[in-house]
Structures are given as structure tokens and as C-alpha cells.
Structure 1
Amino acid sequence: MGQFLSLGGQKCRTGDYTKVSQNDTCKRQRMSSSFTEESARLIPSLPDELSMQIIARLPRIHYFDVRLVSRKWMATVMSPELFKLRRELRKTEEWLYLLTKVEEDKLSWHALDPLSRKWQRLPMIPHVVYEDESRKGFSGLWMWNMAGPSVNIAEVVRRWLGRKDSLDQMPFCGCAIGAVDGCLYVLGGFCRALTMKCVWKFDPIKNDWSEVTSMSTGRAYCKTGILNNKLYVVGGVSQGRGSLTPLQSAEVFDPSTGSWSQVPNMPFSKAQALPTAFLADMLKPIATGLTPYMGRLCVPQSLYSWPFFVDVGGEIYDPETNSWIEMPNGMGEGWPARQAGTKLSVVVDGELYAFDPSSSMDSGKIKVYDRKEDAWKVVIGKVPMHDFADTESPYLLAGFHGKLHVITKDSSHHIAVLQADSCSSPSSSSSLFAGSLNENSGSMAESDAVVWRVIGTRDFGPAEMVSCQVLEI
């Protein structure tokens, strides 16, 4: 449905040269292009400066085609100078990047241009082998054996708390996903029985992956957030003595310097206030989310020991004071999705929203945090869903174009991106998931004073949703 973002050259057409073999034709075209491109202008009869102004105004979806015009065009649409000009002209675009798990050990990235409603597939993360010098026989540790942060931690923690042999049996491992400075980042995760420090960056301008400076600590199932154009990583688990240990540590990555710095540990203050030493030893503190809000990092937390868990509010990191404070009671205790798993939340137009799943498993609610009253309030009474009993991650949240979006999957394998639009008199139309989704059908669903619009859909087959990020380029 979408075209691949490969950098392969334009194919030669044998029909243009009936008396010359295909190889000779390609060779002749390469020689001809290399001879003329050095002196050729981007657009004949126009200075390159003016041509750049024209190209910068093109929708970015067209760059995948126009780069095939010539090597000079390819270099232009992959140059930082062009995208700097786009920012100056206020022609940047917000795209949604969706991570899916194709099989137990394979991840696949897809990008959606909301304006054209076209999908693009990103290159795969390179297959890289990491060798562990301390353990012989573990030379084949593959970077692609990863999974995302949106998987329910309850199922994962149940496997490793008190069990030393479960790591090798885990079907995938929990890398973290982040986005900063116009690039995607994949951080840490498990490689068989090891927690990884490695960090991979995808540059959408160059359309390739590269490995950057590793974290100071190997982490899996950690949480990420952006403040002041820096990528923060908090919590997660790390490999301990024969088992996994929850982490209270945090660190921050500065893309301008490519370096990591330490952040004070999360105190987990409420975990320290447990009434008995037995509970303190049994219940493990877990960071169950991270959302940048009002210039600070909000981290909801839980205490967990299968099959028991309890939400314990959370803590907030203030970069100005470089310290943690306890989260307001109403914010922490009422944070939706009260389970030992990732709590989905997003900030749109300065407001903090969170998804609260329904017990009926076919709908959900959207709540917004009221700072003045320190309380969560329902703003959308029903988010249209379908039967997702067999889906690990049936929904994701995203904010772009100044609106709230829900990404969900139905039983027919259709992944849909739903946009919440305010409507003073919403129409009484049928359910959005009545049958197969069709983004051209213009179907809507009534939900209080909100009309849900499908701005993108695709059949991803049995692939599971893992995580999503938004990049403005």
C-alpha cells in the first residue's frame, strides 16, 4: 500500500534501447548522468537558490519520488539545509511513526502522512551482533530481538519475579522508543538474557539507522520523554544476580552533543513508606508511564508482585531544580489505566489526556487532568473500539495537528488512526468499526460532542501494534 523508503537507483528500461543489453544501458545512463550532473542546475534556467525555495514548499511525501530525478536532486532532498529552509518557511509537517511487531522477534516501522493519508515503510534496523565477553556461547545476541514499551508489563513481570530461568523463554524484549530533534530512537531492551545499553537512531532525512552513544545502564521496559529538546530515560529493569532488578535511576541524552548525563534517582517515596519490611521486599516499584507536562516529567508508579499490584501515585522531575517531588495526590491516584502496565497519556495543546479502558473491552474513555482541582475528568465518554481480545496492544495515543488521536486495531487486522474532532451537533451515524474500515468512506462515530474521523487505515495482517511517535520535519 505504501512504497518503500529505499535509496535504490531508478531502474533502467530495456525497451528504450532495443539493440543494447540491459547492463550496457544502465552503464551508459550512469556514465551520462555522472558527466552532466556536476554542472547541471536543479531546475534548468533557475538559480539553485530559487530552486531550493520551490522544493522546500513541496509536500514531503513527494520527496521519495523527486529524489530519483538525479543525484543532485537526491542530495538536495536529503540535505539538512533543505529542512532548515522548510522550518524557516514554516513548511514543516507532522508525521505519525508506528512501530509494529510482525513476528515474535521482528519489528517494523511505518510512517503515515496525515495530509495525503499515505503510508511509507521505514528501513529495518540493521542486524547487529553484540558479544558478551563475560559469557561464552552468547555471541549471537541480535539487536532486532526487541519489543516496545506499550506491552502490558503485568504479563512480563509475572514471568520474571521470582523466576531465574524465564528470560530465555521470553518471546521478545522491551526496548524503549523516543523521538527528539526530528529523529527516532530505539533504546535498550533484552537480547536473550541480557539487558542492553545500545541506542539506535533513525534519521528520516537520510533515511537510515545509525548507532549512537550507549546508555550508562542496560535497561528494558524503561520510559522515555522529551524536555528542552533532550531525551530522558527513567526506570525499567536491569539484569541482576540471576534475576531482574527494578531501576530507580534515570539519565538524559543531548542530541546536540551525542552524550548522556545522569539524572537523580527516582525516590519512590511511597514505596519506602510500606508498613512492613515483608511488603517492602515483596513489592517491586515500577515506573508505569512518563509524560512531559508543564515543563516537567510526570512519572506514574506502581508496586507489583504477581498477582498483586497497587498504584502508588507517582513523582515529578523538575529540570530547573534537578530534583524529584511527589506527584499531587489527585493526579497520581486517579491516573487512568489502573494496572501494572504502561499508562497511555499525551499532551495536546497544553492539556494532559489519558486513556481509561472500559471493563467491557469494546470501548474506553478519554480523561483530562484538571490542575486547579487536582482531578481527572472524563471529556470523551466513548472511544470507538472493536473486538480486540486477541490483541496485545489494542490502542495507542498520539497528539499532532493540535488534536488528540487514537490508534487502534480491529479483529480484521485493520489498524486505524482516529482523530477526535469537536462537533456542536454530531451526526447520529453508525459505529466506526461496523465491518472493515475504509478511510475513503468518510464514516464517523458519535461520542458525546466528539466526531471520530478515520485519517488513515491499513491492513497490517497479524502484526501487533507496539508504540508510536510523532516527528515534525
Structure 2
Amino acid sequence: MGAFLSLASPKCRTSDFGETSKNESCKKQKMSPGCTQYGPRLIPSLPDELSIQILAWVPRICYFNMKLVCRKWKEAVMNPELFKVRKELGMREEWLYILTKVEDDTLLWHALDPLSRKWQRLPPLPHVVREDESRKGSSGLWTWNVVGPSIKIAEIVKGWLGLKDKLDQMPFCGCAIGAVDGCLYVLGGFSRTSTMRSVWRFDPILNSWSEVTSMSIGRAYCKTGILNNKLYVVGGVSRGRAGLTPLQSAEVFDPCTDTWSQVPSMPFSRAQVLPNAFFADMLKPIATGMTSYMGRLCVPQSLYSWPFFVDVGGEIYDPDTNSWVEMPIGMGEGWPARQAGTKLSVVVDGELYAFDPSSSLESGKIKVYDQKEDAWKVVIGEVPISDFTDSESPYLLAGFHGKLHVITKDANHKIAVLRADLRDNLGCLPSSSASLSDGLLCEHSDSLAVSDTVVWKVISSRDFGSAELVSCQVLDV
């Protein structure tokens, strides 16, 4: 706790009235119950060590107002030592962070505290100044936001066929999103001229963004996953003279040392057995998702040639052997796809879930992977999502508080966070624990949507106007 003593103000300020005045000032501070020889205390009449223990029990949502009490309180709630105490006391909280895109293609982060159901808006992403290499001889510097508008994968794969006109018109976009060690990360992306290596980190304790060590290679639309408190990045595309080229390489970031290390490249073994050279040249392999499951990284893959795409299973990275193996056939070929080029999934209580959309966005199913049978099985027959055909991401998946959550827009175009609670044969939630439920009682509310196996409860909704969903992450801080 000694670190918090350094937050106090200096012992005494120099006085214009000489040494006597300074000594008298120090004596007055020592006699005051709210002060020490190191300055005012966090809580009058209590040692700062005890005050920190008290602050650690306060819900994190209150810290935004606590910063306004005084400078010392602000320094205290922004000190990592306080959050170490919270961890020791078991007071860490899982918050949901949602990335949205508004009409002018600006990307905004919003945080939801599921317990208080209050939302907070994160500071905007910083801007990066890059020189446009295609404009040689120009002294001007061009400024792009770290992330920009998202585009459909269809526009990306057109570049593989030499249709580069769309790419030349695009502002900065294609960044990947990750989360590790209690921080958010924004990685890579590409501008009009090149793919980027930049990595930015948001620290929720400091409530600010900062740039960290860049990746070894510029990537756009890469996939991220977490293993052993390290952030893995695989695949994506790079920009060359001939357009976009898919990447097989991978690397890993250690937040403790702020360094990147190389990981063996994905073999894309299924792409090596195409029937002839024509298909091998036309169909380009790409990683279409990644999730950390049972201590390994599972990367589903596809072959693309606009407007066609073919699922070709995937590969699994084992950190113990530092090598890739081919994904089980049922797991890879049966992995549900949201749209061409994207396979979302989430792990909740050790179970791997994915959303399987139907031909209409108004319905869909949740499937779980059965490792023993190497098959995806339906566990939720109906998911209450609305039809937003023009949306890049009509829904997102997240897992927190031991439950599966779906983020989508409701009938009023509000962004809603829905929680799935299992039902028993009597229509009530079970009393024993299960993958999607921890024994809550039956609930009856206007915010409930009932399907055949679950009760969908809207834990929070908010009107973000015309903003579209882009991505989400969960931080445990």
C-alpha cells in the first residue's frame, strides 16, 4: 500500500515568511485529523491504506464521479494499485464494450456495466499522421483516424481479382479488435495506399488511448484471440502492387513486455489439395474467424473467389507444441457462418457457441460444438433478432457473467443486450447450474422473449440513433 502514499501532496510548501512559518504550518497539519505530514488523507481520520480498502469495495461505475471529489481521489482511482486490491478482494467486474459506426463512418466505443445497466462513452480513438507515399513530392501530411468505416468482405475479395478501383477510394478501415490483460486493442487496418502495422490500446483505469509496439507486418481484417494472457493475431490481408494478398503468418503480443513474437504460419493445408493450378490461382485462402477453445486457438478458414466462397475446415494452433494441426472435419466444415468471410463464436463456461443464421435475418439458431461427436448441435432454436439487411453486423455474440449474450437492435432500432437463460420442462429457469444459466428464478417482464428452450431477457438497451454494430469485447477489471 505504500505506493498510495506517493499520491499525497508534498510535505510543506516553501513559505515567504521564513523557517518559523513553515514549521508552524507543519505542526498545524499534524494536529489536523484529516491531514498528515504528507498532506490531506483520502478519508479524514483514516490511514490511506484503509481508505484504499474501502474504495476497492465501491462499484467501478462510481469511479467516474469519485474522480471529481478532489485531485487525490482522482489519482487514487486511476492508480493500478487500487485495482490490484480489487482483484485480491474478488471485486473485479465484467463490462461489455461495444464498437459502433455512425452515419459519417465515425467509430465510437461504448461501455456497459451489466449490474447497474449504465452506459459510458469511451474517449475517441486518437488520430495517426501518415505520409501518403503515393503522392511523392507533396509536402503535405495526411491524417486518418486509427479506424474508419467498415466494408463488406465482398469489396475486399474483389481486390484479389485486380479490381482495385474500390480500394483506391477507401479511407482507413479494416482494423481488428482484441482484448487482453484488462485493455482493449485496435490493430492494423489499411489506408488508400498500404496496410498498417499500428496498434493502439485503451486502458479503462486511465480512461485513455496510447500507442504500443507495432506488429511486424501490416495487416487488415486479421483475426485475434487470447491464450495465456497474450494476444494472438493471425491472417488478414496485405496490400501489394497487384492488389490484396491473403496472409498465412501469425504473431503474438505480450502486454507485460510490450513485445511481439513470431508464431509459425498457418499451413492452409486444405488449400494445397485443389484439383489444378487454375483453382489454386483463383481461390484464395483466408482465416474467417478465431477463438480460444480448450487452451488452443481454433481458426476456421475459407477459400474465396468473388462471388464464391467455400468452407475448407480450419486449423488449430497448440501453444505447447508451437505448431498447427488440421481442425476436425465436423468442427471446421460445420462452423456456422454469419456471412461470407466471417464466422463469429464465443466460449461460455468452456462451451463453444456460434450463431447459425437462416435465409432471413429475422431468425436463427444457436449451436454448440460437441467435441466427442465432432458435430455442431442446436441448443437454442430461436434467437429474437430483427431484420436489418443493410447492417454490417446485425448481431454480435458475447459471454460474461457465465452466460451467453446476443447484442442486436430491437424493433425500435435501439441497441439491445439480450441474455439467454435456460428453461426447464415447467417453463421456469432451472435451479441447478448449466452452461447458460446459474439458477435464477423465473422472471416475468415486458423485456422477456420466450423461445422453446430459453428465456431471453433484455438486460439493457439504448438508443444510439442510426449507429450500426461493428464489434464487441468483454473486459474483466
What is the SS of the residue equivalent to 1:87? helix
What is the SS of the residue equivalent to 1:412? coil
Q: Which structure's relative contact order is higher, taking Cα pairs within 8 Å and 6+ residues apart? A: 1
Q: Any idea what the Cα deviations from partners look like across 1:364-411, whole Å, max 9, x if unmatched? A: 100000000000000000000112123221000000000000000135
Q: Any idea what the Cα deviations from partners look like across 1:200-240, whole Å, max 9, x if unmatched? A: 00000001000000001100000000000000000000011
| Worse-matched range after superposition: 172-181 or 410-419 | 410-419
1:459 to 444, 460, 463: 463
Does the CA contact (< 8 Å) of 2:414 and 2:461 recur in 1? yes
C-alpha separation between the residues in 2 aligned to 1:301 and 1:61? 40
Q: Any idea what the Cα deviations from partners look like across 1:267-301, whole Å, max 9, x if unmatched? A: 00010100010000000111000000010000000
Instruction: Report the counterpart of residue 141 of structure 2 in structure 1.
Output: 139
Q: Displacement of 1:360 after TM fit? A: 2.2
Cα distance 1:354–1:91, how it changes in 2: closer, same or farther (>3 A)? Answer: same
Q: Displacement of 1:140 after TM fit? A: 0.5
1:110 maps onto 2:110 in alignment: yes
Does the CA contact (< 8 Å) of 1:105 and 1:145 recur in 2? no
Alignment of 1:415-426 (within 5 A): 415-424=415-424, 425-426=426-427
TM-score, normalised by the number of residues in structure 1: 0.86
Code of the aligned partner of 1:154? A
Instruction: Report the counterpart of residue 357 of structure 1 in structure 2.
Output: 357
Does the CA contact (< 8 Å) of 2:246 and 2:286 recur in 1? yes
Query: Where in structure 1 do 4 or more consecutive aligned residues deviate above 3 Å?
Result: 132-135, 158-161
What is the SS of the residue equivalent to 1:252? strand
1:340 maps onto 2:340 in alignment: yes
Does the CA contact (< 8 Å) of 1:311 and 1:338 recur in 2? no
What is the Cα-based RMSD across aligned positions, in Å?
Answer: 2.0
Q: Any idea what the Cα deviations from partners look like across 1:344-378, whole Å, max 9, x if unmatched? A: 10000000001101112201100000000000000
Instruction: Report the counterpart of residue 51 of structure 1 in structure 2.
Output: 51
Code of the aligned partner of 1:260? W
1:398 maps onto 2:402 in alignment: no
Q: Displacement of 1:340 after TM fit? A: 2.3
Alignment of 1:293-308 (within 5 A): 293-308=293-308
Q: Displacement of 1:321 after TM fit? A: 0.6
Does the CA contact (< 8 Å) of 1:107 and 1:144 recur in 2? no
1:125 maps onto 2:114 in alignment: no
Q: Displacement of 1:191 after TM fit? A: 1.8
Alignment of 1:317-332 (within 5 A): 317-332=317-332
Does the CA contact (< 8 Å) of 2:158 and 2:164 recur in 1? no
Instruction: Report the counterpart of residue 437 of structure 2 in structure 1.
Output: none
Instruction: Report the counterpart of residue 377 of structure 1 in structure 2.
Output: 377
Q: Show structure 1 runs of 5+ residues with no match.
A: 1-35, 428-439
What is the SS of the residue equivalent to 1:344? coil
Instruction: Report the counterpart of residue 70 of structure 1 in structure 2.
Output: 70
C-alpha separation between the residues in 1 aligned to 2:157 and 2:173? 12
Code of the aligned partner of 1:330? G
Code of the aligned partner of 2:447? S
Does the CA contact (< 8 Å) of 1:141 and 1:191 recur in 2? no
Q: Any idea what the Cα deviations from partners look like across 1:407-453, whole Å, max 9, x if unmatched? A: 001353210000001122337xxxxxxxxxxxx96421111220000
What is the SS of the residue equivalent to 1:452? strand
Does the CA contact (< 8 Å) of 1:104 and 1:171 recur in 2? no
What is the SS of the residue equivalent to 2:111? strand
Instruction: Report the counterpart of residue 216 of structure 1 in structure 2.
Output: 216
Q: Any idea what the Cα deviations from partners look like across 1:110-138, whole Å, max 9, x if unmatched? A: 00000000000000011221225575258
Alignment of 1:207-356 (within 5 A): 207-337=207-337, 339-356=339-356
Instruction: Report the counterpart of residue 472 of structure 2 in structure 1.
Output: 468
C-alpha separation between the residues in 2 aligned to 1:345 and 1:320? 23
C-alpha separation between the residues in 2 aligned to 1:452 and 1:134? 52
Cα distance 1:160–1:140, how it changes in 2: closer, same or farther (>3 A)? Answer: farther
C-alpha separation between the residues in 2 aligned to 1:135 and 1:251? 31
C-alpha separation between the residues in 1 aligned to 2:285 and 2:189? 18
1:444 maps onto 2:448 in alignment: yes
C-alpha separation between the residues in 2 aligned to 1:253 and 1:214? 10
Larger radius of gyration: 2
C-alpha separation between the residues in 1 aligned to 2:460 and 2:273? 47
Q: Displacement of 1:141 after TM fit? A: 4.1
Q: Displacement of 1:465 after TM fit? A: 0.6
Q: Any idea what the Cα deviations from partners look like across 1:34-54, whole Å, max 9, x if unmatched? A: xx8961111111111111111
Q: Displacement of 1:193 after TM fit? A: 2.5
C-alpha separation between the residues in 1 aligned to 2:132 and 2:171? 20
Instruction: Report the counterpart of residue 96 of structure 1 in structure 2.
Output: 96
| Worse-matched range after superposition: 270-279 or 418-427 | 418-427
C-alpha separation between the residues in 2 aligned to 1:281 and 1:204? 45
TM-score, normalised by the number of residues in structure 2: 0.86
Q: Displacement of 1:194 after TM fit? A: 1.6
